[in-house]
Amino acid sequence: MTLPDLTPAQRTELELLARGKQDKSRTMRDLKQPETPEAAHALLLRAGLWTDARTPYADRLGAALNPVTLDVPPFTPEQRLDLTHLDVYAIDDEGNRDPDDAVGIEALPGGLTRLWVHVADVAALAPADSPLDLEARARGATLYLPDRTIGMLPDALVEQAGLGLHDTSPALSISLDLDEDGNADAVDVQLTTVRVQRLTYTQAQERLDAGQEPFVTLARLAAASRELRVQEGALSIDLPEVRVKADEAGATVTPLPKPEMRVVVQECMTLAGWGAAIYADDHAIALPFATQDPPHREVRGDTLPAQWARRRTLARTRFQPAPGPHAGMGLDLYTQATSPMRRYLDLVVHQQLRAHLAGQDGLSGKEVAARVAQAQMNADATRQAERLSRRHHTLRFIAAQPERAWEAVVVERRGPQATLLIPDLAFDLPLSTPAAPGTALRVRLGDVNLPNLTLRARVVTD
């Protein structure tokens, strides 16, 4: 039997196995092939039944690939603080389609500055135990693949609630009154109406470089906040990041620039999470608080090997219904609160805060813990599917350039085996070399095996 002679039934059985939908394959036995999803994937590629653009990982891991099509209710009228007179900016990567957070400032007496972090009021449309909430809980997070995005919530909800997509937007807003040194004098959470202008990081950086407000003040507050967190043990991990995009024609891997405004916005989101956690703790609101144990050893330096080693010292973030310290953030309590369109536990935070603001009983700590367990299990599958799909399409990008020599750095050694990091790809791979950590090498990559997600590297000296 030649591969193109597969019957429709054999092809279906092969595809099911490659997608991880069955454990044993009669077809694979008939073709004298190993009975694994990877072997089935390889056979489908050789038969020309799948192209190299096909990725089976989300299927194998049980991550949902169908879009959410549930009905989305309209916003209902309710009491909101009108902040439409303030300048507010949603700053994202170019092409971002789900703007769910925005920042702004307000001058206060006494030298204080009120930092506003406005977040799309998703919980107003997806309250606890509603059909939208149950669907989001079952998915855990939005699935971002190089060739498509599968939302945790319907596109119609994003279009209705996204900040800056309409003249004004309802928001759940977190405010922190900060002094010149970044210390918080007060925090608050309110339902608001805001008018948002959307900017890319590049556009925001241009305004910062030109000395425009509020970007200068935002950068100053972010730097002061960051310094305070570093003094409390916050760790900085600065490793290369890339954007992977793909379609049937091929894949591209583009290094992600890191303008100062990206760091500024990240710090504002961190402050919002801290402020929401303080507010919840002050009002005895159960949230999925994010906690992290201290690193098991100290790593000094800013080299790539040091950054690599420092990341490996960090414990995984845990979510629990009571506050606790987050060592990596350098904060005594923290929650993730700025992405309710994309992360289910952020939506739970908003549901709990909204219930409190409405004078209603929210979820108990036990109920929050149950949601954490379910959402994390589903979100873990989503994150792993994203990681494997990015690797798959990165290998496609590499395979299309077999003669290219890549700049790499040895970031770790274990016996005769070293780990190389290729910054332009944010890609690591093993290599037998005596080179010490920190050594720069030029390597050529080949023997790409998409089903097994492997390749080989060899050092080039020319």
Q: Which long-range contacts (CB under 8 A, 24 or more apart) does 253-256 make?
A: 253/393, 253/394, 253/397, 253/424, 253/425, 253/426, 255/423, 255/424, 255/426
pLDDT at 360: 95
**Burial readout 162-198 (b: 16 or more C-beta within 10 A, e: otherwise):** bbbbeeebbbbbbbbbbeeebebeebebbbbbbbbeb
Spell out the per-residue pLDDT of the chain, length 462, in tens. Answer: 345 566 777 677 778 788 876 655 555 566 555 578 898 899 889 888 899 999 999 999 999 999 999 999 999 999 999 999 999 999 998 878 889 999 999 999 999 999 999 999 999 999 999 999 999 999 999 999 999 999 999 999 999 999 999 999 999 999 999 998 999 999 999 999 999 999 999 999 999 999 999 999 999 999 999 999 999 999 989 999 999 999 999 999 999 988 999 999 999 999 999 999 999 999 999 999 999 999 988 899 999 999 999 999 999 999 999 999 999 999 999 999 999 999 999 999 999 999 999 999 999 999 999 999 999 888 899 999 999 999 999 999 999 999 999 999 999 999 889 999 999 999 999 999 999 999 999 999 999 999 999 999 999 986
Residues 205 and 251 in one domain: yes
Residues 33 and 96 in one domain: no
Say if 125 falls within a structural domain: yes
Say if 98 falls within a structural domain: yes
Residues 424 and 371 in one domain: no
Q: Which long-range contacts (CB under 8 A, 24 or more apart) does 184-187 make?
A: 184/271, 184/274, 184/275, 184/278, 185/112, 187/275, 187/278, 187/279
Query: 257-268: per-residue pLDDT in tens?
Result: 889 999 999 999
Residues 116 and 38 in one domain: no
Residues 29 and 112 in one domain: no
pLDDT at 1: 39
- Rounded CA-CA distance 309/234 in Å is 15
- Rounded CA-CA distance 105/214 in Å is 7
Q: Residue 340: which of 201, 158, 68 has the closest Cα? A: 158
Q: Last residue of some domain: 374, 393, 412?
A: 393
Residues 386 and 441 in one domain: no
pLDDT at 383: 94
Say if 68 falls within a structural domain: no
State which H helix or E strand residue 357 sits in: helix 344-357
Residues 148 and 232 in one domain: yes
Say if 309 falls within a structural domain: yes
Checking DSSP bridges between strand 184-194 and strand 242-247, what pairing results, if any? unpaired
Residues 279 and 379 in one domain: yes
Residues 376 and 434 in one domain: no
CA dihedral 57, 58, 59, 64 (to 10 degrees): 180
Q: Residue 152: which of 459, 386, 353 has the closest Cα? A: 386
pLDDT at 47: 84
Structural domain tally of the chain? Answer: 3
The CATH number of the domain where 451 resides is what? 2.40.50.140
Q: Last residue of some domain: 340, 375, 393?
A: 393
End-to-end CA distance of the chain: 46
Say if 71 falls within a structural domain: no
Say if 64 falls within a structural domain: no
Contact 84, 194 (CB under 8 A): yes
Say if 74 falls within a structural domain: no
| Amino acid sitting at position 38 | E
Q: Residue 18's domain spans which residues?
A: 8-50
Residues 323 and 446 in one domain: no
Say if 69 falls within a structural domain: no
Residues 147 and 225 in one domain: yes
pTM score of the predicted model: 0.93
pLDDT at 19: 83
The CATH number of the domain where 27 resides is what? 1.10.10.10
Residues 453 and 431 in one domain: yes
